[in-house]
Amino acid sequence: MSRTGRLGIVFALFAVAVGLVVFAVMAFLRSSPPTVDFTSGHQAGQPVDMTVQTVPSIGFGIHPTWVSYLTKAPDGQWVHTTLWDLPAHTRVNVTIDQYDSGSPLRNQQFGLVQGTTDASLNAKPLSLIDSNGSANGVGHTFTIPALGVSVPLYGISGDAKNPCSVAPCATSYDHNVIQFSFTTPGPGQYPWQCFVPCGLGYLYGNGGPMQTLGYMGGFLKVTA
């Protein structure tokens, strides 16, 4: 084959590779969940109040059986996302309505409340959940590794009489309420995730929702 022919093949393969990369990036952007903005209208020095919920199955979309987080936007609407815009150096008061059941932790370290203030479980002070000694175990964690923040989310009873199966879940369903506060650092992107393997049907429970934005992990985009 001539040199020109070989170069043509190389350029053709390069073009295919670039096309595949562009396709993958565009597919990611199209599938990326929306971002809930807590910065618009925020007054410096004031805290941000944020409410999220964890559900045993989202009940809609391309993965209706996946466990998931949802976020209540400032306008009161529930949004299927785990991406948030937050102001820097600001206290964030978090309320998590936990509708999922739990199990013993594989690593008891994640039963500790870390990096937060005023943590409570159903309005009682919370510092530790002994998932081996508790009746319901831990359903999920809310963990921001870069900030040293981690909070275990106590599961509802496996025999709950009124569980929620389709999100968003109303507070009339069986659930636990976990509240805590943390302070955002300077501007940056900070990943957060659940550290309880809950991707049923995946190796060691770590696939599926555990590695997908909008379900069991997301990002805090902290802006000045």
- Tens of pLDDT, residues 119-159: 999 999 999 999 988 889 999 999 999 999 999 999 999 99
How many helices (DSSP H) and strands (DSSP E) are in the chain?
Answer: 1, 13
pLDDT class of 220 with cuts at 50, 70, 90: very high
Dihedral of CA atoms 95, 89, 37, 187 in degrees, nearest 10, equals: -130
pLDDT class of 29 with cuts at 50, 70, 90: very low
Q: What pLDDT, on a 0 to 100 scale, did the predictor assign at position 133? A: 87
Dihedral of CA atoms 174, 77, 210, 129 in degrees, nearest 10, equals: -40
Contact 172, 155 (CB under 8 A): no
* 151 Cβ neighbours under 8 A, 6+ residues apart: 96, 113, 114, 116, 119, 126, 141, 142, 143, 178, 180
pLDDT class of 204 with cuts at 50, 70, 90: confident
What pTM does this model have? Answer: 0.85
pLDDT class of 3 with cuts at 50, 70, 90: low
Q: What is the largest CA-CA distance in the chain?
A: 78
Per-residue CA distances from 75 to 32, 78, 112, 159 (Å):
21, 9, 33, 34
Mean pLDDT, range 175-189, rounded to an integer: 98
